[in-house]
Amino acid sequence: MDKRPPGWPLLVALINGRSGIPDARLVEAVRDKVVLVTGSSYGIGEATARRLAAAGAIVLLVARTAEQLDVVASGIKASGGRAFSYPTNLAEPAAIERLVADILRDHGRVDVLVSNAGKSIRRSIADSYQRFHDIERTNAVNYLGPAKLVLELLPSMRERGAGHIVNVSTAGVRTPPMARWSAYLASKSAFDVWLRCISQELRHDGVTTSTVYMGLVHTRMSEPTPLLNSLPGLTPEQAADQVCRAVAERPHNITPPLVRPADALGNLLRVPTDRLFEQYFRRGNTRKRTQ
Ligand SMILES: NC(=O)c1ccc[n+]([C@@H]2O[C@H](COP(=O)([O-])OP(=O)(O)OC[C@H]3O[C@@H](n4cnc5c(N)ncnc54)[C@H](OP(=O)(O)O)[C@@H]3O)[C@@H](O)[C@H]2O)c1
């Protein structure tokens, strides 16, 4: 039985946004388009791939877990859709070069890249002294891999004068920095800024970018953090709805309603907001020590 209080869906929408796209509009936008979705073995990427394929897109599935990609592809095909698996570790630049060569050979083009694969880590700096690899791994999947993939795809997109890149980012890069999320948020911020910079160079060649500053979504990624499980969050399908709107309508960004003022206030009041988060972190730590 659902034990959540009345008004919970409204709270979820207010905090995380619910800007979706009707089926008919999505079909019009993506039918017969070649759409590459990274991180499509699970979570938001899987739900996005399923929705795009149902709307008539030719979906290219990329992630490491080949068996899971095949499960997703089989499900799509069983429903009459088109999907192709390309198992790839996006932390390996050479594997990305092979991936793009294979895709261009097989399909001739990529109309839309949904850069969704990601790795999250929540760990205090005191627990990270021996874990430089946390920074390396988050950067490899959240920044360097996506940047390499864009670099490989851009020549063919620019040559055709058409292409769209959707970055599944996090609302966390728009709100004040938070203790324990340093490795994750720094790597997500890096790709966000990189893409915004190059976007200014691409528009005139017909290549556009959209960034979805996603709120909390209940997936495999958020599941290990007990605090997040109790907070209002989207389902993967609701999150996919936002990603699909970005694919179809090509907005500059999609941002949850409450994140815009938080972003503005955080920039205006940098010192007080940092102090506020500092207090929150210290209180949490003290409570942990006395338990
Ligand atoms: N969940 C949230 O609350 C939330 C909030 C804001 C933003 N986001 C962002 O949304 C995106 C999707 O997250 P999610 O919640 O759906 O997480 P998820 O269920 O853990 O899915 C992550 C996906 O990324 C793939 N992936 C991870 N490392 C990879 C690698 N080295 N090479 C290729 N693929 C890799 C995973 O597949 P394999 O393991 O098979 O490789 C999986 O398909 C991420 O970019 C995340 O930062 C999530």
pLDDT of res. 85: 98
Choose the catalytic residue: 86, 143, 184, 213: 184
Mutation choice for ligand 1 from 99, 120, 165, 221, CB with most ligand atoms inside 8 A? 221
User: pLDDT tens track of the chain, all 291 residues?
Assistant: 556 777 778 878 878 877 789 999 999 999 999 999 999 999 999 999 999 999 999 999 999 999 999 999 999 999 999 999 999 999 999 999 999 999 999 999 999 999 999 999 999 999 999 999 999 999 999 999 999 999 999 999 999 999 999 999 999 999 999 999 999 999 999 999 999 999 999 999 999 999 999 999 999 998 888 878 888 899 999 999 999 999 999 999 999 988 999 999 999 999 989 898 889 888 876 655 443
pLDDT of res. 17: 77
pLDDT of res. 8: 77
DSSP-derived secondary structure for the chain: ---SPTTHHHHHHHHH------HHHHHHHHTT-EEEEET-SSHHHHHHHHHHHHTT-EEEEE-S-HHHHHHHHHHHHHTT-EEEE----TT-HHHHHHHHHHHHHHHS--SEEEE---------GGG-TT-HHHHHHHHIIIIIHHHHHHHHHHHHHHHHT-EEEEEEEEGGGTSPP-TT-HHHHHHHHHHHHHHHHHHHHHGGGTEEEEEEEE--B-STTTTT-HHHHTS--B-HHHHHHHHHHHHHH--SEE--TTHHHHHHHHHHTHHHHHHHHHHHHHHHHHHHHH-
Cα 117 to averaged position of ligand 1 atoms, centre (Å)? 4
| Ligand 1 atom with least separation from CA of 172 | 6
Q: Which CATH number fits domain 8-290: 3.40.50.720, 1.10.10.10, 2.60.40.730, 3.20.20.70?
A: 3.40.50.720
Please list every protein residue whose CB sits less than 6 Å from any atom of ligand 1.
Answer: 38-39, 41-45, 63-65, 68, 89-91, 116-120, 141, 168, 170, 214, 216-217, 219-222
* Domain residue extents for the chain: 8-290
pLDDT of res. 191: 98
